[in-house]
A and B are shown apart, each in its own frame.
Chain A
Amino acid sequence: MDVLAKNLPYLLSGAVMTLWLSLAVVSLSTLLGFIIGTLGAVGGRTLRALVTAYIFILRGIPVLVVMFLGYYAFPAFGYRANAYVAVGTAQIVYAGAFVAEIVRSAILSVPAGQFAAARGLGMPRGKILMHVVFPQAVRLAIPPLLNTSLTTIKQTSYASVVGAWELTWAAREVVERTLAAFQIFLGVMAIYFCICYPLAALSRWCEGRFVVAH
């Protein structure tokens, strides 16, 4: 156990990097996904087709492959981006597809009657979207969005395979140095668990609440 204690500061700094990465990716991918998902639900025919293709492609390939693509694509186009930017961008694009799908299906599953009722009252399209459709879509979308964020946070660990230093890479370094695989890896799993479990619990609580509200 002292192995863990001795290396804890180092590991915790890795955890901080993981948290920064997670924060950046989750917030930007959610933003990206919201925009794309909305366009995919209410846009014109070509736009919707493009969104469908984007979602289909990105959901069909592993996030690790997308990360590798990002890592090697940047220099190929002449940008000397650092590992974090490359991997982070890749993850944002990847997670954005999942968010887009959630947002799109949430908007589309607001009952058509709602739209009809609002138009019957004479509301213009933009207002209907903002005041009638979105609030209900958001309620539907929150539990799956929380789950997606959870997955995204765990996937920041894959950045270590591509070459960006964060908690999992730190853990591997320590283990290769101290050979204390069980203590270190279990300890790091506990750190990830502390980060992730509140989110998982929140998602389940929301599921309970919103189902009732509907």
Chain B
Amino acid sequence: MDYAAQVTAFLLGQMPKLLAGFAVTLTVAVAAIPLALALGVVLLAPRLSGRRLPSGAVQAYIEVMRGTPLLLQIYLIYFGLPLIGLFPSEFTCGVVGIALQHGAFLCELFRAAIESVSQRQWEAGRAIGMTQLAVFRYAILPQALMKVLGPLGNQVIVLIKDTSLVSAIGVMELTLTGKMVIERSAASFEIFVAVALFYLIVTAAVGAGFRLAEQRYAGRL
């Protein structure tokens, strides 16, 4: 029991540092999520347009994002931008990198949700004399928004976990904080158990939140 007491005391002592790192993690996530959502929506129009060039361009972008690691993309931004005279902070590089990759995935997610609304709904709307735009706005889009909640929740959780990567370019978020604590105080791996717990709390909360939203708003589907 002496070991457990020691470890707990140590971890509690590190709590201020861990909380600071946790705050940075949350800040990165909160900054990247709206950007990624916006990008996903912006990419949606060309993707769904049915015209080969815009749709193909977006598809190619999504394929590249899907086929290359996020870490590399972040490195590219962080090491590359200074070469063309831009000097954004590590924080900005990380947020932009995350938003660029997740924006691509969100576009696919939104597209799948829209296309999963049955063709018959389009017909029902047109049959009572609604224009295509009206059908989309009042019949299709609301249903797509309800269907997107589940996959969206999962994607947000992945995004929160991906914030750990910005530790590679020096942003003092939770993961890097853990690494610093070990390197500076010869502590052992238990600090990362605490780090893991922080992430677990956030992802569990976000997951529960989205599930609740699904039940409340998508239950009638």
B164 within 8 A of A: yes
Q: Is the Cβ of A185 less than 8 Å from the Cβ of B71?
A: no
In the bound assembly, the distance between CA atoms of A66 and B161 in angstroms comes to: 11
Q: Is the Cβ of A168 less than 8 Å from the Cβ of B72?
A: yes
A181 within 8 A of B: yes
B188 within 8 A of A: yes
In the bound assembly, the distance between CA atoms of A186 and B168 in angstroms comes to: 18
Q: Which residues of A contact B196 (CB under 8 A)?
A: 57, 61, 65-66, 69
Q: Is the Cβ of B68 less than 8 Å from the Cβ of A172?
A: no
Q: Which residues of A contact B79 (CB under 8 A)?
A: 175, 181, 185
With A61-B161, A64-B165: A196-B188 Cβ-Cβ less than 8 Å: no
Q: Is the Cβ of A185 less than 8 Å from the Cβ of B80?
A: yes
Q: Is the Cβ of B188 less than 8 Å from the Cβ of A62?
A: no
With A76-B189, A154-B69, A181-B80: A65-B195 Cβ-Cβ less than 8 Å: yes
In the bound assembly, the distance between CA atoms of A61 and B158 in angstroms comes to: 9
Q: Is the Cβ of A192 less than 8 Å from the Cβ of B68?
A: yes
Chain B, residue nearest A183 (CB): B80
With A76-B189, A161-B71: A197-B63 Cβ-Cβ less than 8 Å: yes
Interface 1/0 per residue, A62-80 and B, CB below 8 Å: 1111101100110010000
Q: Is the Cβ of B71 less than 8 Å from the Cβ of A179?
A: no
B143 within 8 A of A: no
Q: Is the Cβ of B200 less than 8 Å from the Cβ of A196?
A: no
B83 within 8 A of A: yes
Q: Is the Cβ of A193 less than 8 Å from the Cβ of B76?
A: no
In the bound assembly, the distance between CA atoms of A172 and B188 in angstroms comes to: 28
B66 within 8 A of A: yes
Q: Is the Cβ of B75 less than 8 Å from the Cβ of A182?
A: no
B214 within 8 A of A: no
Q: Is the Cβ of A196 less than 8 Å from the Cβ of B66?
A: yes
In the bound assembly, the distance between CA atoms of A171 and B71 in angstroms comes to: 11
A200 within 8 A of B: yes
Q: Which residues of B contact A155 (CB under 8 A)?
A: 69
Q: Is the Cβ of A60 less than 8 Å from the Cβ of B199?
A: yes
Q: Is the Cβ of A76 less than 8 Å from the Cβ of B188?
A: yes
A189 within 8 A of B: yes
Q: Is the Cβ of B162 less than 8 Å from the Cβ of A62?
A: yes
B179 within 8 A of A: yes
A188 within 8 A of B: yes
Number of interface residues of A (CB under 8 A): 38
B178 within 8 A of A: yes
With A61-B196, A65-B196, A72-B189: A186-B69 Cβ-Cβ less than 8 Å: no
A157 within 8 A of B: yes
Chain A, residue nearest B182 (CB): A72
Q: Is the Cβ of B63 less than 8 Å from the Cβ of A72?
A: no
Q: Is the Cβ of B167 less than 8 Å from the Cβ of A161?
A: yes
Q: Is the Cβ of B68 less than 8 Å from the Cβ of A193?
A: yes
In the bound assembly, the distance between CA atoms of A155 and B158 in angstroms comes to: 13
A84 within 8 A of B: no
A-B contact pairs, 10 of them (CB 8 A): A65-B192, A66-B196, A68-B192, A69-B196, A76-B188, A157-B72, A168-B69, A168-B71, A192-B72, A197-B63
Binding site for B on A (CB under 8 A): 56-57, 59-66, 68-69, 72-73, 76, 150, 154-155, 157-158, 160-161, 168, 171-172, 175, 179, 181-182, 185-186, 188-189, 192-193, 196-197, 200
Binding site for A on B (CB under 8 A): 63-64, 66-73, 75-76, 79-80, 83, 157, 161-165, 167-168, 175, 178-179, 182, 188-189, 192-193, 195-196, 199-200, 203-204, 207
12 additional A-B pairs beyond A154-B70, A192-B67, beta carbons within 8 Å, are A59-B203, A60-B203, A64-B175, A68-B178, A72-B182, A73-B189, A168-B71, A172-B75, A175-B79, A182-B80, A185-B75, A196-B67
